[in-house]
Structure 1
Amino acid sequence: MVSAAPLLQVSHLSVSFAMEDETVAAVKDISFQLEKGQTLALVGESGSGKSVSSSSIMGLLPANAAIAPESSVRFQQQELLTLSEKQLRRVRGDRIAMIFQEPMTSLNPYMPVGEQVAEAIMCHRKVNRKQAVAETLALFEKVQLPDPAKRLGHYPHEFSGGQLQRIMIAMALANKPDILIADEPTTALDVTVQAEVLKLLKDIQAEMGMAILFITHDLGVVKHFADDVVVMCKGEVVETGTVQQIFEQPRHSYTKMLLDAEPKAHGPASAAPAEVVLTAEDVRVRYVLKTNWLGQETEHLDAVKGISLTVRPGQTVGIVGESGSGKSTLGRALMQLLPSSGQIAFAGKSIQAMSKQERYALKQNMQMVFQDPYGSLSPRMTIGDIITEPLTVFTTLTKPERMQRARQALEEVRLDPHCINRYPHEFSGGQRQRIAIARALIMEPKFILLDEPTSALDRSVQLTVLELLKDIQQRHNIGYLFISHDLSVIRAISDEVIVMQRGEVVERGTAQQVFDAPQQPYTQRLIDACMLIDEAA
């Protein structure tokens, strides 16, 4: 039964942004309501207006945003759009809390996480520091952060992605809000952690009776987690209904497209070519954790423990494993971004034995797409300059020629080439990742390391990017090392799969062997967790 007075009522919300050369309508006359205890999912591709809608509710729009006069956002029958900033602060973080999409950029890198959560408590309630720290510890225990008392004094960079998201959840729950807005809270998490975080949110919701506005592009998560769904496309609501209605009887063609956008399993691998692009033998990475007063090592962590692999032209080797398994550390060691032991060779020549000039030239043929596009794209450069930077360094092309190549690269990753003069902060998380992929592809290298390149992309764009990567690989015979926590993506693109746990290889084989007949319990657990998230989706 629908309540006469919804907890949150959004009516005729329209938001536009004044750009240098045009006004962009990001949200166009949308309406929805949220009841107490309800989980409502806002679903759509990157750029559909999901996050702009949630930012409007929280009063967190940038200065160049304009909300139409007829728009209304009422919380407990109070109009939020007419409140002053001081009045909004009493609601924001207290009665309505938010979990942001990128926890590493949402947390202050200069403050211990315990202080940041305690600060959120003291801002809204009359408690002293000791009481706030005690409440913070209880929250860390509630969200199942490992060793919570010890981690109070640690900084954001000392946590994994899953742990950072738990800290963000703890901060959002600090003042027992009536509404929790979760903006892509599981985007960059591996499947086992994703399942744990979703269960945690459900348990806390049942305990506290709060409503959740869940913003995501992952329909598998929506079916598992939400009660009702609002589907958005290009700033408009195209369909609404219960989860059952949306998944079993979708009416709009856009909704049907989203439901059908699932990566398909990779076909049988062709015979491997004789030549080799990259080889690694017994690669090891050790981090020194503690030293004594003489500077001698007293405690260390072996992040990568003697791993060997081979990548051939036109082949994709996929690496899967939970956060902390050593996937990204191995990748960075192969790219010479971390010190390591063992042998790494490119086209049969040892990289360690190369001269400085040879290593510099090698960068043309070894490119990398990083996991965090926000951190890997310079905020001071336009995306045109970002994408063409490799061309500036390694070619003699004129600026107009470079910009034309950049426009072509943007079209390949489904971005409007007219946005070439915009900056990274003007794009969504998924759009920023496509910019990073365009930058890596523009040099047409022989080897690309892709570290979670599709983690921030919605399913339909994932399919486009995967097909794009396959097409470019076939045309230019590029070897890929593809790191991901998304098993469906790994299966869709990989010829060979390596499963890592705690710095070691626990299983390897063709994609078909690993996914259809896993030999190790750890591999089976990863597959089971993936099936839980995507059950019946």
Structure 2
Amino acid sequence: MAEQHPLLEVCNLSVSFQMEAECFDAVKGISFTLEKGQTLALVGESGSGKSVSSSSVMGLLPPNARIGQQSEIRFQGQDLLGMSEKNFRSIRGDRIAMIFQEPMTSLNPYMPVGEQVAEAIIHHRKVSKREAMESTLELFEKVHLPEPRKRLNHYPHEFSGGQLQRIMIAMALANTPDILVADEPTTALDVTVQAEVLNLLKEIQADMGMAILFITHDLGVVRHFADDVVVMCQGEVVETGTVEAVFTEPKHDYTKMLLNAEPKPGDLQHDQHAANILEVRDLKVNYILKNNWLGQPTEWLQAVKGIDLTLKEGQTVGIVGESGSGKSTMGRAIMQLLESEGEISFQGKRFDQLTSQQRFELKRNMQMVFQDPFGSLSPRMTIGEIITEPLTVFTDLSQRERLDKARKALEEVRLDPSSINRYPHEFSGGQRQRIAIARALILEPQFILLDEPTSALDRSVQLTVLELLKDIQKRRNIAYLFISHDLSVVRAISDEVIVMQKGAVVERGTPEQIFDNPQEVYTQRLIKACMLIDEDGVAA
């Protein structure tokens, strides 16, 4: 009788990265197994080695990575580390598929999304392009992409972050893999879509007997989605076991710290008599969907529908809503990154009444942290150059003075100042987000728009960043417009909450009014979905 092997065996995996004069050990001798139909979660803070471990399984490590000589990765008994790239390609995307953490950087910006998913199907199956496109349409319907047939021919930039993640999930499931490696698959998703996607993955797993290697920092999801958990810290495994055992009786202090790291509602005492710093009146943003043969627009999408907003000095207004609700579009319009209709006034000055030089001078006091840290950080610049770039544009400081301020900014966001000469690709997703926050803070602005600033951060670092933002706000009297799908984070930092749906405001009020006594059905549904994931698991 043939020996039965686990579906996936990882034994004594060590991974290091050669960086100029030094070698960095990212993963240090970890081991785990994955059986058919099992969901195993790799949990830990940013930089713990979770994503490096999953990339090793997929054979997607960068050229400067070195795998230890004693390391083994076996798929159904086959040695993956000793396999040729040609043979590995027949497994990758077919038998083992992956959902990446950052969908915008994983999709080709020059190809319609339907063609990209169909390409994955054609590569591994002997089907025509027409059959592949029909399969793609079925997958888009399964992952609840709005207007799936119409959007087959749309490009990645025409989708919200959550919609892009659903497209990546469809691509990963295209060839019904034996193992799905899910690297932070719900990071960019709002709570209602998160519940739908987790239900979808569970449903497909039950139908196919597919195993899932689930990499995440969201312990609320892990508790009810995974069967077993591996807790990682600084490249090492510190605790393993069933989810029930690890969550009810954690043994390692690090595991206990992760479980206790949950944003709590703060005691916010904002000065109601403070001056207005930002005023928005009847803000509208329209996108052209279709032109006639003369190039004249014939079809529009009203992404933002006449929104009013007032932000006072030192105040935080939280904006919540599902992906595609218009949150980020509104933020970009306020920051003058999109054309819009209506009035936008900052420090009492209307942008449409200012010269270009006056607008430039005003923008020193307006900074933004973008949702996608990898896309907003230049890969050709060191983080020291990235963080000091605003100082170069707006100040006359010497290079030494700029670098000194950059080191202090890195310390503020819990990053090693000595890493100032490293590049963005050498950092984890959470670390890159902290670099983006440091860049926004370095000019000491009076207003910062934060577009999903904690979406890529694990819970313990979220708490640190939130406390940092609160502390800086208290000391410098900065106003924040905080856009997020994470309701617990919004509740912890906001003085006022605005709920958006399909480009319009459906409800606004204090955090207590919105979260404890929501009036609108849509708001109630958002909060219920959040509670289902945080407390009772994946929604039924």
Q: Is the 8 A contact 2:320 2:499 kept in 1?
A: yes
Q: Which residue of 2 aligns with 1:42?
A: 42
The Cα shift of 1:196 comes to 0.7
CA distance in 1, matches of 2:223, 2:328: 30
SS at match of 1:352: helix
The Cα shift of 1:504 comes to 1.1
CA distance in 2, matches of 1:166, 1:295: 32
The Cα shift of 1:375 comes to 1.1
The Cα shift of 1:455 comes to 0.5
CA offset digits 1:245-294 (Å, max 9, x no partner) = 11110110000100000001022433313311111111111222233344
Q: Which residue of 2 aligns with 1:424?
A: 424
Structure 1 stretch displaced more, 419-428 or 141-150: 141-150
1:97-246 matches, cutoff 5 A: 97-246=97-246
Structure 1 stretch displaced more, 369-378 or 287-296: 287-296
Q: Cα gap change, 1:289/1:152 in structure 2, threshold over 3 Å: closer, same or farther? A: closer
Q: Is the 8 A contact 1:180 1:213 kept in 2?
A: yes
CA distance in 2, matches of 1:221, 1:436: 26
The Cα shift of 1:131 comes to 3.0
Give the unaligned 5+ runs of structure 1: none
Q: Which residue of 2 aligns with 1:82?
A: 82
CA distance in 2, matches of 1:167, 1:391: 38
CA distance in 2, matches of 1:134, 1:358: 53
CA offset digits 1:413-465 (Å, max 9, x no partner) = 11111111111111111111100000000000011111111001000000000
CA distance in 2, matches of 1:76, 1:276: 63
SS at match of 1:415: coil
Q: Is the 8 A contact 1:113 1:153 kept in 2?
A: yes
Q: Cα gap change, 1:295/1:136 in structure 2, threshold over 3 Å: closer, same or farther? A: closer
Structure 1 stretch displaced more, 284-293 or 198-207: 284-293
CA distance in 2, matches of 1:357, 1:135: 52
Q: Is the 8 A contact 2:270 2:315 kept in 1?
A: no
CA distance in 2, matches of 1:439, 1:273: 30
Give the letter for the 1:421 counterpart.
N
Q: Which residue of 2 aligns with 1:371?
A: 371
CA distance in 1, matches of 2:527, 2:269: 21
Q: Which residue of 2 aligns with 1:471?
A: 471
Q: Which residue of 1 aligns with 2:489?
A: 489
Q: Which residue of 2 aligns with 1:524?
A: 524
Q: Which residue of 2 aligns with 1:93?
A: 93
The Cα shift of 1:342 comes to 1.6
SS at match of 1:213: strand
Q: Is the 8 A contact 2:270 2:314 kept in 1?
A: no
Q: Which residue of 2 aligns with 1:506?
A: 506
Q: Is the 8 A contact 1:273 1:313 kept in 2?
A: no
1:298 pairs with 2:293: no
SS at match of 1:534: helix
Q: Which residue of 1 aligns with 2:32?
A: 32
Q: Is the 8 A contact 2:163 2:323 kept in 1?
A: no
CA distance in 2, matches of 1:209, 1:389: 50
CA distance in 2, matches of 1:536, 1:420: 43
CA offset digits 1:150-172 (Å, max 9, x no partner) = 33222222222232222212221
CA offset digits 1:65-123 (Å, max 9, x no partner) = 00000000011011111111111111111111111111111111112222222221222
Give the letter for the 2:330 counterpart.
L
SS at match of 1:42: strand
SS at match of 1:246: helix
CA distance in 2, matches of 1:209, 1:482: 41
1:254-403 matches, cutoff 5 A: 254-403=254-403
Give the letter for the 1:55 counterpart.
S
SS at match of 1:69: coil
Give the letter for the 1:202 counterpart.
K
CA distance in 1, matches of 2:117, 2:164: 12
SS at match of 1:264: coil
The Cα shift of 1:135 comes to 2.6
CA distance in 1, matches of 2:340, 2:138: 40
Q: Which residue of 1 aligns with 2:455?
A: 455
The Cα shift of 1:502 comes to 1.2
CA distance in 1, matches of 2:473, 2:21: 37
Q: Cα gap change, 1:296/1:174 in structure 2, threshold over 3 Å: closer, same or farther? A: closer
SS at match of 2:457: coil
Q: Cα gap change, 1:153/1:298 in structure 2, threshold over 3 Å: closer, same or farther? A: closer
Structure 1 stretch displaced more, 131-140 or 90-99: 131-140
Q: Is the 8 A contact 2:181 2:214 kept in 1?
A: yes
The Cα shift of 1:21 comes to 2.6
1:407 pairs with 2:411: no
Give the letter for the 1:353 counterpart.
Q
SS at match of 1:119: helix
CA distance in 2, matches of 1:450, 1:95: 39
The Cα shift of 1:145 comes to 2.8
Q: TM-score, normalised by structure 2?
A: 0.97
Give the letter for the 1:319 counterpart.
I
Give the letter for the 1:535 counterpart.
E
Q: Is the 8 A contact 1:268 1:512 kept in 2?
A: no
CA offset digits 1:349-391 (Å, max 9, x no partner) = 2222122221111121011111111111111111100000111
Q: Is the 8 A contact 2:447 2:478 kept in 1?
A: yes
Q: Percent identity?
A: 75
CA distance in 2, matches of 1:25, 1:476: 39
The Cα shift of 1:295 comes to 4.3
Q: TM-score, normalised by structure 1?
A: 0.97
CA offset digits 1:445-488 (Å, max 9, x no partner) = 01111111100100000000000000000100001111111100
Q: Is the 8 A contact 1:269 1:510 kept in 2?
A: no
SS at match of 1:535: helix
Give the letter for the 2:254 counterpart.
Y
Runs of 4+ in 1 over 4 A off after TM superposition: none
The Cα shift of 1:59 comes to 0.8
SS at match of 1:528: helix
Give the letter for the 2:404 counterpart.
Q
